[in-house]
């Protein structure tokens, strides 16, 4: 075997190793996105565990508006519909908006009925809900970071070529809170 044959074989082997590395990188980033989405779902389900207690408090205080109870019921239903195998940022957005409506309704009600503030259960529930929302926010940030890395990993060259030929993965949408973003006057000019 002459030197030119060895060089050609070495180039082919290096190219194959390079392509396999890119392919595996795309798969790893996709798996990271799926793990991050599962983390978001886990946090949503954890929040869902406190909703029955909140429903009970609402039922016990006739002064609460019935719309709060209805929103809590809708929230629980939507949260149960989330699937950790199917990334659905639109449903997550609806859940987060509904959660803000529930929290806002409870805050208004507590202001209208100050004696509820002294109820230890209500105080604990509000603190727990706030903590759960913070945890969900952190999980969403991790999810969005993984989505960004995945999307970049399938779009940059030469990864885009390997993706088109072998992986055939599509971009994944990041989660965005439309209600929060509408509150900003600044819009980036991408």
What's the pTM? Answer: 0.61
Which of 28, 76, 18 shows the shortest CA–CA distance to 49? Answer: 76
pLDDT at 118: 47
**CB 142 within 8 Å of CB 42:** no
| CB-count exposure of residue 158 (10 Å: 0-12, 13-18, 19+) | exposed
Q: What is the pLDDT along the chain (190 residues), one digit of tens a residue?
A: 789 899 999 999 999 999 999 999 999 999 898 888 888 888 887 777 777 776 666 666 655 556 677 777 788 788 778 777 788 788 888 888 888 777 777 766 666 655 555 456 666 777 777 888 888 888 888 988 999 999 998 888 998 888 889 988 888 887 776 655 565 565 555 5
Q: Which two tokens stand for residue 57?
A: 């408090």
Q: How far apart are CA 150 and CA 146, in angstroms?
A: 6
| CB-count exposure of residue 102 (10 Å: 0-12, 13-18, 19+) | buried
pLDDT at 102: 76
pLDDT at 149: 92
pLDDT at 122: 64
Q: How far apart are CA 79 and CA 82, in angstroms?
A: 5
């Amino acid at each position: 075997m002459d030197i030119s044959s060895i060089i050609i074989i070495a180039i082919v082997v290096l190219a194959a190793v390079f392509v396999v590395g890119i392919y595996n990188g795309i798969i790893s980033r996709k798996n990271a996105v799926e793990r991050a989405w599962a983390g978001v779902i886990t946090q949503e389900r954890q929040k869902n565990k406190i909703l029955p207690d909140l429903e009970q408090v609402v039922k016990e205080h006739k002064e609460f508006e019935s719309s709060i109870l209805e929103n809590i019921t809708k929230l629980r239903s939507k949260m149960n519909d989330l699937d950790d195998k199917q990334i659905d940022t639109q449903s997550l957005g609806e859940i987060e908006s509904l959660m803000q409506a529930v929290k806002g309704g409870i805050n208004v009600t507590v202001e209208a009925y100050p004696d509820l503030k002294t109820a230890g259960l209500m105080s604990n529930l509000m603190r727990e809900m706030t903590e759960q929302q913070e945890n969900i926010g952190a999980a969403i940030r991790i999810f969005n970071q993984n989505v960004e890395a995945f999307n970049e990993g399938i779009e940059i060259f030469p990864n885009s070529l390997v993706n088109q030929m072998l992986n055939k993965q599509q971009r994944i949408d990041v989660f965005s809170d439309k209600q929060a973003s509408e509150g900003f006057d600044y819009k980036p000019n991408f």
